[in-house]
Structure 1
Amino acid sequence: MSISLEIKNNKKLLVAFLSLLLLSVFSLKIVNAKSDDTKIYIDVPYSTQQVDGKLNYQGWVMSEYKNAKVKVYVDGEEQ
């Protein structure tokens, strides 16, 4: 399963991918975003936390874009 987050402001800007690794541990990769423009943080689950069953996650995004939107995709489908 792969999970991706997308921030949009007039055009699509792919910001981060979350992917389940061995034993369901998360890895966060920041792509296509200047470090000063957009920051994304996943607070829960922790990077070393194992996840079993239903997935619950919490995080936040800080962006210079005034009307930015966050969309969550699971296996390529918007949630």
Structure 2
Amino acid sequence: MSIWHWLIVLVIVVLVFGTKRLGNVGKDLGEAVKGFKKGLQDDDDKKPSGQLPDERRDNGSTTSQRDDEHTPR
């Protein structure tokens, strides 16, 4: 399709919908894209640091205590 085809389509769309409605659609689309990008950036900020806490440090148990817990009786 040539540029003239696209210009004719654009003129018909403007005549059917009007410039005000097209402006509102463009504004809504722009806000949606901004919100999507912000959502992606927020997800990146919430990613874990890549290091899990060590269980032995968290609950204060030692390795020998852990081995005793798992020994069958």
Bigger strand fraction: 1
Interval of TM-score (by shorter of Structure 1 and Structure 2): under 0.3
Structure with the largest fraction of helix: 2
User: TM-score normalized by structure 1?
Assistant: 0.18
* Larger Rg computed on CA atoms: 2
Task: Return the TM-score normalized by structure 2.
Answer: 0.19
Asked which structure has the greater RCO (Cα within 8 Å, sep 6+), the reply is 1
